[in-house]
């Protein structure tokens, strides 16, 4: 076989061309390898970044969860501390209240013991003393006094019963002061300056009418030769004047001075059971009914004024025995 182109330059050019093609091929392959490696590296790198991002996100979530847990724990601790504080405060309050109660009991106990001792050591009263003055106790409430009036003439006694001594006689429509609760129907009262008991049947709230006619035995005296004559069972109409202070006197020097003659300012002879001295507002001859006895105004006195009457007695001892009394006075009409 015969070669047509055996020129060396032509051969050289072909060889160069082949060489260039091989190089290009190698370069392409190398580039492809590099690109592939780059792609792989990029993928790996991207995966690493994603992984790192995921890890970072997980770490953030974990931190947030941890923070919430810490917050819940803190809230729980705060609530627990608050409950403990409340329990401690409640316990202190209960302890304080208990101590206060015990202190009050201790403070009250001596007083109670003292009261019991006083009540136990109180002397035993006799029957008469207990009737005239009821025994007071610690629980007694002060009695509020009130006014009453007699609806008949009655006796004032020093005890709650007819067996006790009579202190005074109280006329009809007399004002009295009730000073305590009734004892077996008997009321403790004050009449003038005297205190005693009256039976409740003979007292009432409203004052009886004073214009009613009353029947009484009187000592209206008729003078005849220095002696007195008694009249009884007279029916009298009276007018109630009120409670008067009744003093007593006789014709001795102690009562009337050294010039006493036994004659009254009206010129009559002073007579016990009839003669009284009264204010000048009551003319001579005015008749009063006092404790069921009719008296006549026959005398005057320096200390006799207003609702004061000086009652005459035959001797000084009788006048002293009377002393000073307060009586209901009626004017005989």
CATH of the domain at 200: 2.30.30.40
Q: Count how many domains the chain has.
A: 2
Examine residue 199 and state whether it is found in any structural domain, yes or no: yes
Please give the residue range of the domain that contains residue 266. 213-332
> Are residues 250 and 293 located together in one domain of the fold?
yes
Determine the pLDDT at residue 274.
95
> Are residues 318 and 251 located together in one domain of the fold?
yes
Q: Which of 246, 263, 254, 261 minimizes the C-alpha distance to 298?
A: 263
**Whether the Cβ atoms of residue 213 and residue 236 lie closer than 8 Å to each other:** yes
Q: Which of 264, 274, 323, 267 minimizes the C-alpha distance to 299?
A: 264
Examine residue 58 and state whether it is found in any structural domain, yes or no: no
> Are residues 231 and 320 located together in one domain of the fold?
yes
> Are residues 221 and 144 located together in one domain of the fold?
no
CA dist 272 to 24, 220, 221, 249, Å? Answer: 181, 11, 9, 10
Determine the pLDDT at residue 114.
46
> Are residues 302 and 229 located together in one domain of the fold?
yes
Domain boundary, last residue among 162, 178, 204: 204
Examine residue 13 and state whether it is found in any structural domain, yes or no: no
Predicted model pTM: 0.35
Q: Quote the tokens at residue 133.
A: 């003055």
Determine the pLDDT at residue 59.
63
Q: 130: how many CB neighbours lie within 10 A of its CB?
A: 14
> Are residues 173 and 260 located together in one domain of the fold?
no
Examine residue 228 and state whether it is found in any structural domain, yes or no: yes
Determine the pLDDT at residue 116.
46
> Are residues 241 and 193 located together in one domain of the fold?
no
> Are residues 228 and 195 located together in one domain of the fold?
no
- Is the pLDDT assigned to residue 261 strictly greater than 90? no
Q: Which residue has the higher pLDDT, 140 or 215?
A: 140
Segment 74-103 mean pLDDT: 72
Residue by residue, DSSP assigns 82-103 as HHHHHHHHHHHHHHHHHHHHHH
Examine residue 187 and state whether it is found in any structural domain, yes or no: yes
Q: Tell me the pLDDT tens digit for each residue of 183-196.
A: 999 999 999 889 99
Torsion-angle region of 273 (φ positive above 0: left; ψ -120 to 50: alpha; else: beta) = left
> Are residues 176 and 250 located together in one domain of the fold?
no
Examine residue 130 and state whether it is found in any structural domain, yes or no: no
> Are residues 262 and 323 located together in one domain of the fold?
yes
Could you give the CA distance from residue 118 to residue 329 in angstroms, rounded to a whole number? 47
Q: Tell me the pLDDT tens digit for each residue of 297-321.
A: 999 988 899 999 999 999 999 999 9
Determine the pLDDT at residue 37.
73
Q: Tell me the pLDDT tens digit for each residue of 8-37.
A: 554 455 555 556 666 767 777 777 777 777
> Are residues 237 and 187 located together in one domain of the fold?
no
- Find residue 157's DSSP bridge partners: 166, 197
Q: Tell me the pLDDT tens digit for each residue of 196-254.
A: 999 998 899 888 765 444 444 444 443 433 333 333 334 678 899 999 999 999 999 88
User: What is the percent of the chain with per-residue pLDDT over 90, rounded to a whole number?
Assistant: 33
Q: Tell me the pLDDT tens digit for each residue of 33-84.
A: 777 777 766 665 565 555 555 556 566 666 666 677 677 677 777 777 777 7
Domain boundary, last residue among 204, 235, 260: 204
User: What is the percent of the chain with per-residue pLDDT over 70, rounded to a whole number?
Assistant: 59
> Are residues 190 and 257 located together in one domain of the fold?
no
Examine residue 17 and state whether it is found in any structural domain, yes or no: no
Examine residue 57 and state whether it is found in any structural domain, yes or no: no
Segment 151-178 mean pLDDT: 89
């Amino acid at each position: 076989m015969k070669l047509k182109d055996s020129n060396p330059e032509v051969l050289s050019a072909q060889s160069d061309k082949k060489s260039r093609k091989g190089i290009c091929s190698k370069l392409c392959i190398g580039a492809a390898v590099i690109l592939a490696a780059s792609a792989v590296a990029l993928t790996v790198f991207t995966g690493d970044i994603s992984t790192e991002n995921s890890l970072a996100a997980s770490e953030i979530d974990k931190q947030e969860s941890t923070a919430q847990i810490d917050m819940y724990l803190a809230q729980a601790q705060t609530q627990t501390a608050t409950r403990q504080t409340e329990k401690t405060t409640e316990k202190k309050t209960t302890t304080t209240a208990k101590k206060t109660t015990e202190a009050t009991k201790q403070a009250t106990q001596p007083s109670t013991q003292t009261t019991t001792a006083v009540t136990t050591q109180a002397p035993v009263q006799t029957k008469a003393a207990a009737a005239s003055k009821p025994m007071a106790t610690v629980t007694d409430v002060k009695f509020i006094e009130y006014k009453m009036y007699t609806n008949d003439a009655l006796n004032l006694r020093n005890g709650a019963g007819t067996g006790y001594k009579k202190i005074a006689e109280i006329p009809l429509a007399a004002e009295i002061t009730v000073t305590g609760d009734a004892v077996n129907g008997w009321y403790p009262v004050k009449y003038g300056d005297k205190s005693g008991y009256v039976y409740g049947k003979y007292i009432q709230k409203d004052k009886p009418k004073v214009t009613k006619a009353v029947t009484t035995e009187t000592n209206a005296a008729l003078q005849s030769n220095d002696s007195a004559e008694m009249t009884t069972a007279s029916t009298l109409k009276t007018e109630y004047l009120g409670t008067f202070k009744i003093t007593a006197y006789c014709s001795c020097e102690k009562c009337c001075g050294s010039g006493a003659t036994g004659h009254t300012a009206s010129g009559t002879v002073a007579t016990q059971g009839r003669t009284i001295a009264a204010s000048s507002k009551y003319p001579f001859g005015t008749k009063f009914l006092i404790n069921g006895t009719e008296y006549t105004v026959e005398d005057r006195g320096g200390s006799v004024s207003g609702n004061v009457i000086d009652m005459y007695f035959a001797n000084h001892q009788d006048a002293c025995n009377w002393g000073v009394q307060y009586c209901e006075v009626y004017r005989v009409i």
